[in-house]
Amino acid sequence: MDLQDKIIRLKKEKNAVILAHYYQRPEIQEVADHIGDSLGLSQRAADTHSDIIVFAGVHFMAETAKILNPEKKVLLPDLTAGCSLADSCPPGAFRDFIHSHPDHIVVTYINCSAEIKAMSDYVCTSSNAEKIIRSLPPDRPILFAPDKNLGKFLIQQTGRELLLWDGSCVVHEAFSMDKLFDLYRKHPDAQIMAHPESESHILKIAHYIGSTAGMIAHAKKFPKDKFIVATEAGILYEMQKEVPGAQLIPAPSHEDNTCGCSECAFMKANTLEKLYHCLYHETPHIDLPKTLMQKASVPIERMLELSR
């Protein structure tokens, strides 16, 4: 019996559910019960009736699942699977930032730690950020963290002034403008799709800007087209399954690596073997203080309510 079969058997025996982000390795996506972006997976985590949640993603995602399911066991195959964007917003410095602007509504992108969420009024994802910003009282100033690129995009889309925290994702800032132009010259019939965590100069030339789930939905509208995709390359596996007739080309990064694309080392820290051992031994698991989970659940629940 191979590892994938063993994992599927263990899921049934332990009444476990595996949630996997689009950026996970293909072999992990194959055994997942649900594959999605941060919003979709948060919704799945909130609605699950399983005893165990295995989150094939990064640490902040597993924390969010635990916050929504404080009584359930939430497992993460590799505890070192962090996030450069979440790391760019340390709780102590962020607390001082908030205290310096006490009149602001605090909106944080879900790519942050549980401690940051607990200081927030609202949490958002790239799928619903614009909707949440537009829902807030126009006479109240807004503080947005941690992603400055998503924040700049939201300012452009909504016309609201946002006070931005200076954070970013190394994966989405790795795209090379020069290489992208060279690639587009070779494929002038392609549509460029970009995630809003990308830098402004990348977004300016994109034909479509959206979340990972939004990119897949957009590609399905043009199932025989050609796309240059500017986000973590792991999305291409599920996207190709959804649009088998489309030609998908990963946007090039500054770094000359084996794939020529932008990959998240944190996302790729999870492997099928780690997933199996994690489920078999039911460790490592996410453990958060009860008071922290209670505070962090408030802005997350507000987000989920606005997203229904």
pLDDT over 80 at 52, yes or no: yes
pLDDT of residue 257: 59
Q: What is the mean pLDDT of residues 275-283?
A: 97
Structure tokens at 219: 């590609």
> Which percentage of the chain shows pLDDT scores above 90?
91
Structure tokens at 202: 């990348």
Q: Please name the helix (run of DSSP H) or strand (run of DSSP E) that holds residue 219, with its range, or none.
A: helix 212-221
Residue-wise pLDDT for 18-32, tens only, equals 999 999 999 999 999
pLDDT on residue 33: 96
Task: Indicate if the pLDDT at residue 205 is higher than 80.
Answer: yes
Span 150-174, average pLDDT: 96
Q: Name the pLDDT band for 157 (thresholds 50, 70, 90).
A: very high
- Rounded CA-CA distance 98/301 in Å is 21
| pLDDT given for residue 38 in this prediction | 86
Q: For the whole prediction, is pTM greater than 0.85?
A: yes
156 touches 110 (CB < 8 A): no
Which string of DSSP letters, residue by residue, matches 29-96? HHH-SEEE-HHHHHHHHHH---SEEEEES-HHHHHHHHHH-TTSEEE-S-TT---HHHHTS-HHHHHH
Q: What does the pLDDT read at residue 1?
A: 72
How far apart are alpha carbons 308 and 301 in whole angstroms?
11
For 154, phi then psi, to 5°, come to -65, -35
Q: What is the pLDDT of residues 228-255, one digit of tens each?
A: 999 999 999 999 999 999 999 999 988 7
Average pLDDT over every residue of 57-84: 96
Q: Which two tokens stand for residue 34?
A: 């649900």
Q: CA angle, 39 as apex, 140 and 305 as ends, to 5°? A: 55
Q: Using CA atoms, how far apart are residues 303 and 300, in angstroms rounded to an integer?
A: 5
Residue found under tokens 């993460």: 76
Helix (H, G, I), strand (E, B) or coil at 278: helix
* Three-class DSSP category at 122: strand
pLDDT confidence bin for 256, thresholds 50/70/90: low
Question: Which tokens in the block code for residue 276?
Answer: 């199996």
Instruction: Give percent of the chain with pLDDT exceeding 70.
Output: 98
pLDDT tens readout for residues 163-184:
999 999 998 988 999 999 999 9
Joined tokens for residue 61: 């995602």
pLDDT level of residue 261 (50, 70, 90 thresholds): low
Instruction: Output the six-digit token pair for 240.
Output: 């190709």
Taking the C-alpha atoms of residue 74 and residue 62, their distance in angstroms, rounded to an integer, is: 7
Q: What is the residue-averaged pLDDT of the chain?
A: 95
Q: SS3 for 260?
A: coil
What is the pLDDT at residue 258? 52
Quick count: other Cβ atoms within 10 Å of Cβ 173? 17
Three-state SS at 124: strand
Residues 6+ apart with CB under 8 A from 281: none
Residue that the structure tokens 């996997």 belong to: 20
Sort 189 into a burial class: Cβ within 10 Å, 0-12 / 13-18 / 19+: exposed
C-beta separation of 20 from 56 below 8 A: yes
Task: Decide: 203 and 196 in contact? Cβ < 8 Å.
Answer: yes
pLDDT at site 219: 98
